[in-house]
Amino acid sequence: MNAELGVLKGALDRQREHVLGILEGLSEEDLRQPVLPSGWSCLALLRHLTLDVERFWFCGVIAGEPDVAGQLTAGAEAHWYVPEGMSAERVFADYRAAIARADAVLAAAAPEQEPAAWPVEIWPTWRLPDVRHILIHVLTEVACHSGHLDAVRELIDGTTWLGGNPYAG
């Protein structure tokens, strides 16, 4: 892997670990509990990260895999919900599998490589020009969502990613 992409991927890996780490130890009930008024749960956000971030950007946009490229046009709002009967273990396994597949795509990519597919029907006037920009976009999105999970976890049981009260002396 190119050194520049390696540095960016390292930062992304730390955010992915943060996402998984902040959810560690939550019960199935807590993982499914909507906490914020918008109504999403921790599992729903993890499913969004799986389908709309890892799978979409790496497999769909960078690699141009046809079964992925059109998924956002099919109604990405549905990806913010966990299908009836899907276990928490399955949601976590799908996320880890999507990361592994995304990493394989990234390992074969170069920073200046143009995306193999672009959803012009979603973004007709906006385009990320290359793998470098896509990786920065994904890193930003995962970091943002790990912060969302931090806030929700603290509301659920007081746990913080820093391992306690960061304001305690």
Model confidence pLDDT, tens digit, residues 120-155: 888 889 999 999 999 999 999 999 999 999 999 999
Give the Cβ contact number of residue 139 at 10 Å.
19
- Residue 9: which of 130, 88, 102, 86 has the closest Cα? 102
Q: What is the pLDDT of residue 109?
A: 96
pLDDT in tens, 94-111: 999 999 999 999 999 999
Coil/strand/helix, residue 26: coil
Say what the pTM is. Answer: 0.91
- Residue 50: which of 9, 121, 85, 102 has the closest Cα? 102
**Contact 37/25 with Cβ under 8 angstroms?**
no
Angle at 110 between CA 107 and CA 111, to 5 degrees: 120
pLDDT at 165 over 90: no
Q: What is the pLDDT of residue 87?
A: 97
